[in-house]
Amino acid sequence: MWHCEERGEGRPLVLLHGIGMSSFAWSPVLDQLAKHRWVLAFDTAGFGKTPALPMGVQPTVPNLVRALLDTLDAMGIHGPVDVVGNSLGGWMALEVARLGRARSVVAISPAGLWKEHPAAWVKHFFGFMRAATRLSPGGVELAMKSGMLRELLLSIPLSFGSRRMPASDASRSAMEFALAPGFEATMANAGVFTGGQAIACPLTVAFGTRDWLLTPGARRRDQLPSSTRWLSPAKWGHVPMWVDPQGVTRLILDGTA
């Protein structure tokens, strides 16, 4: 069973976070979403409070999704559900839809839409960030107390406008990213999303105009159906929940209505 933060009641709404994060990434929007839906924000295997997949099972996106669906089944949720994902979680949401288990999908800056693999600089950038944070956690915590430094350090991995992110949330997110035990294996198993042209459920894909992590080359449309709704929210970065919680909430509720 995966760890899950639950809020509200009604029709299930599954939230899936990006690599190196946890269900905490959705904290800015949880309470607003819970006014309308039964919100299930999961920690993906190897991140947050969920253990890694069993020994010998590689954390590919298909394997992660199978484990997610097993958890939903164990919770008594067997039919198609509304799924929202960011980054790695967006890729997982697309895979849930490909398997026919999604009622609707909202994918915010989904990974996996590159041609063959993520850009090489992304892997090196992530590695540097993780190493630097582990080397000086106190220095990172101190830096996150400055709005100007939050803006400088988090604009690429999270979003432009991160100065508006609470310092405590920024510090927690940085440490989760640095210490996530499943990071390397999950990154090493990042392939490509394929086979999504036959997805039948409503599908919304949003890449912010200031997402500097997944550039246009990582936003290929040929693996998704022509009916996909593509959006470019103004001033959103890769992880926009903290900088525009109202806008993210509206996007999710509209896309899964």
Residue 40 maps to a domain: yes
From residue 228, give the alpha-carbon distance in Å to each of 14, 19, 62, 71, 160.
19, 24, 21, 28, 26
Write the CB contacts of 29 (distance below 8 Å, at least 6 apart in sequence).
Answer: 241, 245, 248, 249, 252
pLDDT, residue 63, reads 98
Establish if 231 belongs to a structural domain. Answer: yes
Q: Is residue 177 part of a domain?
A: no
Residue 79, number of CB atoms within 10 A of its CB: 8
How far is Cα of residue 166 from the mean position of the Cα atoms in its chain?
19
Q: Is residue 207 part of a domain?
A: yes
In a domain, 157, yes or no: no
Determine the structural domain holding residue 67 and report its residue range. 4-117+183-255
Q: For residue 47, what pLDDT is reported?
A: 98
**Low-confidence residues of the chain, pLDDT below 50?**
none
How far out from the chain centre does Cα 212 lie?
15
Beta bridge partners of 106: 84, 204
pLDDT at res. 117: 82
Is 151 part of any domain?
Answer: no
Q: Return all residues near 54 (Cβ < 8 A) that are at least 6 apart.
A: none
Task: Report the pLDDT value the prediction gives residue 118, as an integer from 0 to 100.
Answer: 86
The CATH number of residue 68's host domain is: 3.40.50.1820
Q: Give a yes or no: residue 66 inside a domain.
A: yes
**Nearest Cα to 65, choosing from 22, 108, 16?**
16
Domain count, the chain: 1
Question: What are the backbone dihedrals phi and psi of residue 54, each rounded to the nearest 5 degrees, phi first?
Answer: -55, 155
Q: Considering the domain boundaries, does residue 53 fall inside one?
A: yes
Q: How far is CA 154 from CA 79, 90, 149, in A?
A: 38, 20, 8
pLDDT of the residue at 209: 97
